């Protein structure tokens, strides 16, 4: 089956530094990838839609300068949290769509970010 | 705008019994897809079942089946012969086909399975 690899699984960083999270589709090409944020015991909140070769589409309220998304190839999308603050601490999950339309999302294992 | 509502924050079921999780949604689209995802404590999102809106027949996957009522915009998940490993958060999700679209998730239902 389709596999999405997300790295790192856990990261601790100091306030003011930047952190990059990678999302790779291992055995399929993903034109579109999605980045979600999940607070404890809550649902997945869509942050942005990442499209290969073009700018990401951000959801309302998500700071595009703070959460930089790059989708440089059909198998890799990255999310960089710039100048991280403790309130950015959260669980971030990427997902990729295999094909379009009737294809379900395949999820990475998520990244637990802790900003101290 | 599309919305997905799960009105049951938590449900419990006895092992080997059957439980139904509710989901309603709102959309003006005619062609879309509905999914149930399971998120165990590992937090890995696992696809349980999916339903194409154009299909009248309810989807089934082993012990999991759905009751899809398009007119009522209802999409419930039935788990038969519940097992301890079924304990998890269950999210109902909506996705529209074509163009630039997004998947919308409900708030989730925590399922507890009692031995």
* Sequential DSSP letters for A29-95: --SEEEEEEE-TTS-EEEEEEEETTSPPEEPTT--TTTEEEEEEETTEEEEEE-S--GGG-EEEEEE
Instruction: Fill in the DSSP letter of residue B95.
Output: E
CA distances from A11 to A63, A76, A115, B48, B59 (A): 21, 19, 8, 29, 39
Between strands B109-114 and B60-61, the pairing is unpaired
Q: What is the predicted pLDDT for the residue at A104?
A: 73
Closest residue in chain B to residue A107, using alpha carbons only: B45
Instruction: State the smallest CA–CA distance between residue B10 and chain A in angstroms.
Output: 11
B43–A102 CB contact, under 8 Å: no
Banded model confidence at residue B57, pLDDT cuts 50, 70, 90: very high
Res A7 pLDDT > 90: yes
- Cα–Cα distance, B91 to A44 (Å, whole number): 9
Q: Is B98 a residue whose pLDDT tops 60?
A: no
Question: pLDDT by residue (tens digit) across A61-113?
Answer: 999 999 999 988 889 999 999 999 999 999 999 999 876 655 678 899 999 99
Tell me if A93 and B102 make a contact (CB, 8 A cut-off). Answer: no
Contacts B108 to A, Cβ<8 Å? 42-43
How near does any CA of chain B get to the CA of A95, in Å? Answer: 9
Q: Which residues pair with B95 in a beta bridge?
A: B33, B103
């Amino acid at each position: 089956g389709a596999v999405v690899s997300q790295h790192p699984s856990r990261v601790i960083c100091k306030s003011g530094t930047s952190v990059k999270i990678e999302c790779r589709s291992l055995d399929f090409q993903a034109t579109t990838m999605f980045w979600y944020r999940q607070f404890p015991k809550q649902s997945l909140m869509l942050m942005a839609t990442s499209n290969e070769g073009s700018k990401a589409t951000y959801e309302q309220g998500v700071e595009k300068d703070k959460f930089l998304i790059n989708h440089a190839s059909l198998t890799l999308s990255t999310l960089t949290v710039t100048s991280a603050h403790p309130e950015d601490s959260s669980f971030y999950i990427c997902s990729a769509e295999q094909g379009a339309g009737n294809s379900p999302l395949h999820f990475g294992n998520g990244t637990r970010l802790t900003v101290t | 705008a599309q919305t997905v509502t799960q009105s049951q924050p938590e449900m419990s079921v006895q092992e080997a019994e059957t439980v139904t999780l509710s989901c309603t949604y709102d959309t003006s689209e005619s062609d879309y897809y509905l999914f149930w995802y399971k998120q165990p404590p590992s937090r890995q999102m696992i696809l349980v079942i999916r339903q194409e809106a154009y299909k009248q027949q309810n989807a089934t996957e082993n012990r999991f089946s759905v009751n899809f009522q398009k007119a009522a915009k209802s999409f419930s998940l039935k788990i038969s012969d519940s097992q301890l490993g079924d304990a998890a958060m269950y999210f109902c999700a909506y996705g529209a086909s074509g163009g630039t679209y997004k998947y919308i998730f409900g708030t989730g239902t925590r399922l507890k399975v009692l031995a």
